[in-house]
């Protein structure tokens, strides 16, 4: 078994809302490990996500700290760098779709507002992480990645951002106060702004992908010639 810490605690950007992310890598089911505390992966699956260039593999590669193993070796370090992340476009599109669905429901119905606002935050965070990992040299895995991807950062009023983050924490950790209705209203009114930002990231990812594929095909044809 190997145990690692990863995420905010390894970046040092901790605050009272931070949780401690722990990873356990095992060969077999181990009843000592509480899945509410550990992200539990098999060695086989870790090797697979490394080969896929999965964002989680990159997250672990960039921001994890070895804590324990019976064999006293650092398994993740020995794996080296994951493969290049190539699914950024489809991932950005997937998180945009999640956003669109929640945006529509927030304007159509009065229930599950916190849950839908939480999905908005999820979409914002993940699209920023996938975009920054796939299309820039500065991958950002933090909870606040949407605010920190250089010129492409999201620009919305801080109280709206806090309302969305608060909804995410309520939905996942059950902590915090229910957002005031005027803040929810303000957040819903800002969704068009977030929509434009996300569409721009998807478009940029698409252009980046097109250039990448053109470069690949010109390299292939020059080899063939």
Q: Give the C-alpha separation, 91 to 71, whole Å.
A: 36
Q: Quick check: 75 binds another protein (CB under 8 A)?
A: no
Span of 115-123, 153-161, 189-197, 211-219 interacting with another protein by CB under 8 A? 115-123
Q: Quick check: 79 binds another protein (CB under 8 A)?
A: no
Task: Report the candidate in 160, 167, 159 with the shortest Cα–Cα distance to residue 188.
Answer: 160
Q: Which is nearer to another protein, 37 or 216 (CB)?
A: 37
Q: Which is nearer to another protein, 114 or 163 (CB)?
A: 114
Q: Quick check: 27 binds another protein (CB under 8 A)?
A: no
Q: Give the C-alpha separation, 20 to 186, whole Å.
A: 31
Q: Which is nearer to another protein, 97 or 192 (CB)?
A: 97
CB of residue 111 vs another protein: minimum separation in angstroms?
5
Q: Give the C-alpha separation, 8 to 16, whole Å.
A: 12
Per-position b or e across 192-210, b if 16+ CB within 10 A of its CB: eebeebbeebbebbeebbe
Considering only residues 174 through 193, tell me which ones interact with another protein, judged by CB under 8 A.
174-175, 178
Question: For residue 122, what is the enclosing H or E element?
Answer: helix 113-135
The residue ranges that bind another protein (CB under 8 A) are 35-36, 40, 45, 48-49, 94, 97-98, 101, 105, 111-112, 114-116, 118-119, 167, 170-175, 178
């Amino acid at each position: 078994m190997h145990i690692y810490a990863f995420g905010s605690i390894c970046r040092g950007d901790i605050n009272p809302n931070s949780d401690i992310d722990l990873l356990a890598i095992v060969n077999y089911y181990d009843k000592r490990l509480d899945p509410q505390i550990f992200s539990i992966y098999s060695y086989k699956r870790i090797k697979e996500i490394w080969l896929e260039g999965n964002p989680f593999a990159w997250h672990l590669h960039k921001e994890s700290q070895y804590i324990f193993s019976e064999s006293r070796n650092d398994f993740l370090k020995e794996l080296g760098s994951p493969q290049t992340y190539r699914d950024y476009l489809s991932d950005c599109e997937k998180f945009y779709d999640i956003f669109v669905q929640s945006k529509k429901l927030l304007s159509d119905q009065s229930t599950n507002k916190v849950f839908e606002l939480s999905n908005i935050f999820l979409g914002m965070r993940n699209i920023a992480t996938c975009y920054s990992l796939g299309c820039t040299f500065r991958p950002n895995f933090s909870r606040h990645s949407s605010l920190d991807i250089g010129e492409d950062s999201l620009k919305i009023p801080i109280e709206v951002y806090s309302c969305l983050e608060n909804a995410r924490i309520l939905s996942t950790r059950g902590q915090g106060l229910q957002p005031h209705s005027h803040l929810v209203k303000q957040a819903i009114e800002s969704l068009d702004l977030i929509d434009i930002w996300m569409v721009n990231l998807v478009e940029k990812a698409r252009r980046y992908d097109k250039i990448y594929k053109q470069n690949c095909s010109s390299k292939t044809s020059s080899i063939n010639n």
